[in-house]
């Protein structure tokens, strides 16, 4: 299988040196990429993280949500499974000065606009691909994740809380359409990643089988 995996927190620049970002380290996405490589799959890693990419992946470095969207669009048709592990910014500045904003004692107002919803685009445009998303929620975790699973036409949603950010370990709950929630015990991210890739493999085999039957 060909896994297309995104990782890291995007940077949305407000001038030439300052940006809006988040606390995502990218570790989960990199653990997924490593697990997929070790399982014998082809991996394209689209990353906004500064971590060292696992050996064997096709690496695409990006900064902004727009750059990540462009990369996902480029490789999406060629992949079997997209896993959106990146923490993509929901908003980006409307205007981005080419030079550094001068310091001042006056208040500064920065107007923001929504970024493209990459995973929603993928869910809408998928043909034979599996699309997997993450839901990071503080309240109503399962309810919010199920809504995202349904509204964005995903094949799997992985839900967790902000407590896992920058942590070596994580605990996740996984939901697929018409199936019960799967709650994994707390473990390091490499262990969790192996289980997620294994689930992606199972979904991928079903899709590949359907694709072969349709060609007959």
Catalytic annotation on 22?
A: yes
Please identify which of the residues 22, 128, 160, 166 carries the catalytic annotation: 22
CA distances to 1, 80, 108, 156, 211 from 208, rounded to whole Å, are 9, 8, 53, 17, 5
> CA nearest 6: which of 90, 77, 89, 71?
71
Q: How far apart are alpha carbons 55 and 47 in whole angstroms?
A: 14
Please state whether beta strands 58-61 and 112-114 pair in parallel, antiparallel, or not at all (unpaired): unpaired
Please answer whether residues 96 and 13 qualify as being in contact, where contact means their C-beta atoms are separated by less than 8 angstroms: yes
**Chain position carrying tokens 């920058």:** 166
Active site residues: 22
């Amino acid at each position: 299988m060909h896994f297309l995996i995104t990782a890291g927190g995007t940077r949305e620049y407000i001038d030439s040196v300052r940006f809006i970002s988040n606390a995502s380290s990218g570790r989960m996405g990199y653990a997924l990429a490593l697990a997929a490589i070790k399982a014998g799959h082809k991996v394209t890693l689209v990353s906004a993280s500064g971590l060292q990419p696992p050996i064997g992946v096709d690496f695409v470095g990006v900064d902004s949500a727009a750059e990540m969207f462009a990369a996902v669009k480029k490789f999406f048709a060629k992949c079997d499974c997209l896993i959106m592990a990146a923490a993509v910014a929901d908003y980006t500045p409307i205007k981005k000065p080419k030079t550094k904003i001068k310091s001042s004692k006056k208040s500064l107002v920065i107007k923001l606009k929504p970024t493209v919803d990459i995973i929603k685009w993928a869910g809408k445009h998928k043909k034979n691909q599996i699309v997997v998303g993450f839901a990071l929620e503080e309240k109503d975790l399962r309810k919010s994740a199920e809504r995202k699973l349904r509204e964005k036409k995903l094949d799997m949603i992985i839900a967790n809380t902000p407590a896992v950010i920058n942590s070596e370990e994580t605990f996740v709950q996984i939901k697929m359409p018409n199936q019960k929630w799967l709650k994994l015990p707390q473990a390091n991210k490499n262990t969790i990643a192996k289980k997620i890739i294994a689930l992606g493999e199972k979904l991928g085999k079903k899709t590949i089988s359907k694709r072969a039957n349709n060609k007959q």
